[in-house]
Structure 1
Amino acid sequence: MGRKSFRAALNEALHQEMKADPRVVVFGEDVTGGTGGDGEQDAWGGAFGVTKGLLGAYGRERVLDTPITESAFVGAAAGAALTGLRPVVEIMFVDFIGVCLDQVMNQAAKFRYMFGGKTRCPMVLRATFGAGARSASQHSQALYPIFTHIPGLKVVIPSTPSDAKGLLIEAIRDDDPVVFLEHKMLYDEQGEVADQSYAVPFGEARIVREGPDAAIFAYGRMVGRAEAAAAKLAEEGINVSVIDPRTTSPLDTETILEFTEETGRVIIVDEASPRCGMAADISSIVAEQAFGALRAPILKVTPPHTPVPYAPSLEDAYLPDAARIVDAVRRSLAHR
């Protein structure tokens, strides 16, 4: 057990799974770094350094740089999965999913169903997401609701280094296609991570903290902001629960409903657009299945329904922060 960054935890998961299973292959744009040039090989390890060192350890037959053509290499990953490999394919930014959505939505997600359960597609699609890096609206979106909407896909959003490693290992071992989304602002976050290989099951929420006054549900980077809000509220004698569902599909509805019943107050913090996002989805589940337990209206803390701004001041104002979460909890508690 040691302190590791979110990036290092992901890299360790890839190393351990590639060492344990020769069927695991990795490919994407610049995942080796420098391929085709005269410079140092493996100089980058992907745009964010997550695949650094894999080329030297496992060679070019298992770690492949691709052309800038997401439709081709995501389609190749889906085909490779059908033939018995377990590909982990990297898309630099989830915003580029439109280029290869057919391969994900109409191919990989449908194989098991279309072939009557006689085949499987053990493929992992890794991609960065999220605002805060001053990357403008075409490189900053939180598009996990799109994938969650598609039957046949599993969707994972880790918020800590420990979960990043365990959930990625689970994703690689899973026999269905998994969309694994990494918030780019979390890569340097540090946390305790076990050295040995371990898997974190899908569909099981992480209880970050418990308190009787309200329940806050949050994903990805928003979990940390919910924690900060909870700490601020605790100074005022208000004790709230913070729950990280970790996966949007499957979704741990049992835990969501349990904390709704216990607190009677629900606040959902979601970085995705408010229309048809996870905040809206969880709200509908709570309203349909636990309406009688509510002591106050369900409150959503989300960005506005606009593209992510580029101007730093506007981008900061766009994102939910601890102050907005604190305000939502106080508004919920005002209903007696």
Structure 2
Amino acid sequence: MVTRVAVLDDYQQVAAGLADWAGRLPGAQVTFFGEHIAGEAELVAALEPFDVVVAMRERTPFPRAVLERLPRLRLLVTTGMRNVAIDLAAAADNGVTVCGTRSHASGTAELTWAMIMGLVRGVAADDARMRDGGWQGGLAQDLDGEVLGVLGLGRLGARVARIGAAFGMDVIAWSPNLTEERAAEQGARRVDKAELFAAAKIVTVHMVLSDRSRGLVGEPELSAMRADGYLVNTSRFGLLDPDALRRALESGRPAGVALDVFDTEPLPRDHWLRSAPRTLLSPHMGYVTGKSYRVFFADVVEDIAAFEAGSPLRAL
């Protein structure tokens, strides 16, 4: 029987060229979906013929209601080793094996710094002014000697912290289980959360989203930020309280917010953030790099081949 494979959310239409699909999966029929499929009914209709589905991170949710309506599905591969948009219990109940892939860690940390620099140097505003026939109009901010506050000093947060130190910044950090020793290893000082938001010129968020961390950055944190401070979130939008964020932007504090993640993705055309003041927006590009995708799709093909051979790899 021919294995039918669906590759979802191939926005850049590059997945076919980034792995040896034909060589590793001879005889398989692979279909690449370049457009996001919104809505459970539409998703089920599109995926009914497929034995294997490849999900790009959390772009497409797979709740129980979807998995129960895909009786042919045998394998669901997600890029990365964590995907809160997949109901793993429902997958197991419906006989669906879920596997992950390795990842290339630097992309999101690098985008974090692109967004920080975009904020403090006013890159987007300068570009728009130039294209409109103008010249200088704003006064850029400095990083050297300023305070970088890292919320979550895990793998990504630690990378961001080390780069901050290279810019000559005083790096402070907080997370619920962070120790002084772990912070010092990454060139940071552990402080409490209130001090971090009050002291930092830049607050950058790198926490895992969970029931415990949802809405972690809310009214008290945002109102405590410096008037000239900036907030950057390349992790998960749910870490922010959206109502508190909207009020903060409308009130003029903090000075700017950069977001690479959103509550609904792709972001609807009429979403309030598209017209929010003092924001720098990126369409969830943190992991969207050539190196990341080569790791993702090479492992995807390996996962499918291993599953077909009866020895699943990287099962979640």
Normalising to structure 2: TM-score of the pair?
A: 0.31
- Structure showing greater radius of gyration is 2
